């Protein structure tokens, strides 16, 4: 069945040509609010039934929610085919942020990440991506006009640039001034370094912040933790990031998971300095979020501070970000994997 959530008002009118403009406007508004057809209380019952029989309103619904003391909430969302995805709501003084998933699973296979351990199940559609935003916005008291979300980060499960067409369609839909109207400048898109699609994105006219998952400054170390390093050398990835910055004028952030006894020596800091020479980029250092299935360990606070100090001495812009979500079932992919393991133990019920 056709998904309606990413349709513009004009596209909706084209699909429902017998409806007057005000009815189309009502349906559009309800969809953006995260509602299903059965909840569209100002539509005639017969129209609600007709819509339910032919179209999909929301691509996901909340299966479970885990809330931490600081207000961070991790959502387990069920897609219509029974697949589960995760997203994380993070309240901040300057506005609330939602970290979205872009695929069910991931085929990039990063060794420190739970999402990639069972490979890719499937890409999410643009409408499913937008539904994540709509249902979490609604759950936090927002609607299409008074949003409870001001920032989005595409850093949950999946590699956004491995699902390029759906992700770019989502970015256009979520920033539609008639819809949720979230500014593209308030959206960060993370990639592990898919060079051809980084270059495509630079020409797309979508001024998002690009966040590149670097995690090591040389190919030898990157290959240990990120299979994508076998396809794209780190120099090419940084060159593509420079092109993105030159063409869009938008900031580039390099994400760097600090891993004990692996990538936080003085030599690592010096290689970073060489790699990023002349690039006004920022390094976001994150102590590794421990994943049960991984052999890698998180460094202590003193080790993190020492590495940060060394980077600053070398003139690099860097900050340490405490990883959110440990209280709410750990890093991306862990919640879904635990829940699905429990579902299997319970005999496979939803
Ligand atoms: S870190 Fe990101 S790109 Fe790598 S396996 Fe996990 S979800 Fe995929």
Of ligand 1's listed atoms, the one at least distance from the Cα of 112 is 1
Of ligand 1's listed atoms, the one at least distance from the Cα of 157 is 7
Instruction: Give me the pLDDT at residue 53, please.
Output: 97
pLDDT tens column, 242-261: 999 999 999 899 999 999 99
Q: SS3 for 202?
A: helix
274 shares a domain with 143? yes
Measured distance between the N- and C-terminal CA atoms of the chain, rounded to whole angstroms? 22
Which CATH number is 317's domain given?
A: 3.20.20.70
Q: Which stretches in the chain have pLDDT values below 50? A: 324-330, 346-350
Among 3, 29, 86, 166, which one carries the catalytic annotation? Answer: 86
Which CATH number is 45's domain given?
A: 1.10.150.530
Instruction: Give me the pLDDT at residue 325, please.
Output: 42
79 shares a domain with 33? no
pTM of the full structure: 0.91
Instruction: Give me the pLDDT at residue 343, please.
Output: 56
Of ligand 1's listed atoms, the one at least distance from the Cα of 226 is 4
Does residue 294 form part of some domain?
Answer: yes
Q: How far is the CA of 159 from the centre of ligand 1 (A)?
A: 6
Domain count, the chain: 2
Tell which one of 159, 255, 288, 293 to mutate to probe ligand 1, the residue whose CB is within 8 A of the most ligand atoms. 159
Instruction: Give me the pLDDT at residue 348, please.
Output: 44
50 shares a domain with 86? no
HEC sequence for the chain: CEECCCCCHHHHHHHCCCCCHHHHHHHHHHHHCCCCHHHCCCCCHHHHHHHHHHEECCCEEEEEEEECCCCCEEEEEEECCCCEEEEEEECCCCCCEEECCCEEECCCCCCCCCHHHHCEEEECCHHHHHHHHHHHHHHCCCCCCCCCCCEEEECCCCCHHHHHHHHHHHHHHHCCCCCCCCCHHHEEEEECCCHHHHHHHHCCCCCCEEEEECCCCCHHHHHHHCHHHHCCCHHHHHHHHHHHHHHHCCCEEEEEEECCCCCCCHHHHHHHHHHCCCCCCEEEEEECCCCCCCCCCCCCHHHHHHHHHHHHHCCCEEEECCCCCCCCCCCCCHHHHHHHHHHHHCCCCC
Annotated catalytic residue 304: no
310 shares a domain with 198? yes
Does residue 62 form part of some domain?
Answer: no
Q: How far is the CA of 201 from the centre of ligand 1 (A)?
A: 19
26 shares a domain with 72? no
d(C-alpha 249, C-alpha 243), whole Å: 10
Instruction: Give me the pLDDT at residue 330, please.
Output: 46
Annotated catalytic residue 159: no
168 shares a domain with 149? yes
Q: How far is the CA of 337 from the centre of ligand 1 (A)?
A: 14
Q: How far is the CA of 10 from the centre of ligand 1 (A)?
A: 36
Nearest to 135 by CA among 183, 188, 187, 80: 80
49 shares a domain with 87? no
Instruction: Give me the pLDDT at residue 123, please.
Output: 98
Does residue 63 form part of some domain?
Answer: no
Q: How far is the CA of 108 from the centre of ligand 1 (A)?
A: 6
30 is written with which tokens? 């309800």
Does residue 350 form part of some domain?
Answer: no
107 shares a domain with 53? no
Tell which one of 106, 122, 154 to mutate to probe ligand 1, the residue whose CB is within 8 A of the most ligand atoms. 106
d(C-alpha 184, C-alpha 272), whole Å: 29
15 shares a domain with 125? no
Does residue 97 form part of some domain?
Answer: yes
87 shares a domain with 4? no
Does residue 134 form part of some domain?
Answer: yes
> Which residue's CA is minimally distant from atom 4 of ligand 1?
110
Does residue 80 form part of some domain?
Answer: yes
127 shares a domain with 16? no
For ligand 1, residues with CB inside 6 Å are: 106, 108-110, 113, 115-116, 157-159, 192
Q: Which residues of 199-221 are buried (b: 16+ CB within 10 A; e: fewer)?
A: eebbeeebebbbbbbbbbbbbeb
29 shares a domain with 153? no
Range of the domain at 297: 68-345
Does residue 93 form part of some domain?
Answer: yes
Q: How far is the CA of 136 from the centre of ligand 1 (A)?
A: 22
Residue pair 149/187 in contact (Cβ under 8 Å)? The answer is no
Tell which one of 104, 110, 286, 296 to mutate to probe ligand 1, the residue whose CB is within 8 A of the most ligand atoms. 110
């Amino acid at each position: 069945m056709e998904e309606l959530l990413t349709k513009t008002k004009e596209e909706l009118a084209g699909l429902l040509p017998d409806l007057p403009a005000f009815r189309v406007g009502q349906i559009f508004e309800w969809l953006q609010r995260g509602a299903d057809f059965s909840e569209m209380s100002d539509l005639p019952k017969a129209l609600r039934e007709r819509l339910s029989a032919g179209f999909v309103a929301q691509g996901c619904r909340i299966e479970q929610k885990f809330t931490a003391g600081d207000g961070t909430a991790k959502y387990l969302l069920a897609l219509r085919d029974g697949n589960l995805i995760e997203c994380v709501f993070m309240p901040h003084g300057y506005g609330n942020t939602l970290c979205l998933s872009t695929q069910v699973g991931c085929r990039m296979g990063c060794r420190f990440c739970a999402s990639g351990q069972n490979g890719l199940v499937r890409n999410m559609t643009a409408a499913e991506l937008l539904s994540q935003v709509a249902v979490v916005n609604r759950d936090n008291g927002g609607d299409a006009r008074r949003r409870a979300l001001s920032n989005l980060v595409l850093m949950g499960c999946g590699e956004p640039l491995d699902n390029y067409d759906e992700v770019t369609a989502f970015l256009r839909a979520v920033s539609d001034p008639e819809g949720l109207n979230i500014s593209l400048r308030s959206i960060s898109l993370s990639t592990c370094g898919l060079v051809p699609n980084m270059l495509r994105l630079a020409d797309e006219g979508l001024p998002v912040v690009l966040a590149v998952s670097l995690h090591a400054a040389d190919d030898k170390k990157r290959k240990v933790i990120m299979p994508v390093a076998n396809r794209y050398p780190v120099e090419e990835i940084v060159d593509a990031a420079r092109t993105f910055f030159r063409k869009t004028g938008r900031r580039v952030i390099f994400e760097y998971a600090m891993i004990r006894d692996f990538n936080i020596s003085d030599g690592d800091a010096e290689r970073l300095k060489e790699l990023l020479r002349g690039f006004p980029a920022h390094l976001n250092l994150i102590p590794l979020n421990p994943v049960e299935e991984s052999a890698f360990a998180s460094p202590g606070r003193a080790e993190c501070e020492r590495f940060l100090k060394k980077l600053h001495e070398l003139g690099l812009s860097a900050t340490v970000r405490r990883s959110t979500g440990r209280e709410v079932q750990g890093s991306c992919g862990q919640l879904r994997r635990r829940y699905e393991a429990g579902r299997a133990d319970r005999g496979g019920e939803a």
